[in-house]
Amino acid sequence: MKPALARLALAALLFVCWIGYLAYQVLTLPPTAHGQPVILSRPQLLVSDLDLVAGVPDLHGPVTVDKVLYPDAQRDQLEGKTITVTNLEQCRPLPPRPGGESPPDWTGPGPYLLPLRRSGDDTYEVVPTPPSPGYPPNPLLRVGPPRISPANPRTLAQSGKVRKPT
């Protein structure tokens, strides 16, 4: 076999393996209530001042802090406390097409992973998704919408892999 043909065969084999791996990932990621797998926004977690798991009973009431993930210094101050999060109703993915509406991230009462920043005394807001290469797809948008995720072992493992700058 000629060297060029051997390199082509190797490249084709690697490509098929890569596509197979991606298909495996799609098939094994557990879907959300909307049928899509949960993949956290790493840039959103990097710019948030406070990451926590909180019980969110509805979109307009206070939330109860179950666990503070970042920073450790606020763990004793906030765990078990009730705080107000002002923009939970805005938490949703970008619509699939302009002018469309996408379903909210909140799917019902339960624990959620909230990347927050302080907006007042005991008042916080979910951090908008900052721009990153290829996101948001519309160059006129400076930031994406705020996003929350259900707090399950997979999302908590993803958030644990994000190393914040010190």
Mean pLDDT of the chain: 87
- Number of neighbouring beta carbons within 10 Å of residue 127: 24
**Under a CB-based contact definition with an 8 Å cutoff, are residues 38 and 32 in contact?**
yes
Q: What is the pLDDT of residues 16-39, one digit of tens each?
A: 999 999 999 878 776 665 566 677
- Check whether 138 has a pLDDT greater than 70: no
Mean pLDDT of 121-136: 85
Q: How far apart are CA 104 and CA 34, in angstroms?
A: 9
The whole-number pLDDT of residue 154 equals 85
Of the pLDDT bands very low, low, confident and very high (cuts 50, 70, 90), residue 115 is: very high
Q: Which residue from 79, 72, 78, 85 is spatially nearest to 148, judged by alpha carbons? A: 85
- Check whether 145 has a pLDDT greater than 80: yes
The pTM is what?
A: 0.77
Q: What is the pLDDT of residues 69-109, one digit of tens each?
A: 999 888 889 999 999 999 999 998 877 777 778 888 888 99
Q: Which residue from 39, 19, 22 is spatially nearest to 31, judged by alpha carbons? A: 39
Query: Three-state SS for 129?
Result: coil
The whole-number pLDDT of residue 75 equals 86
Q: Please, what's the b/e burial string for 100-126 (b: 16 or more CB within 10 A of its CB; e: otherwise)?
A: eeeeebbeeeebbbbbbeeeeeeebbb
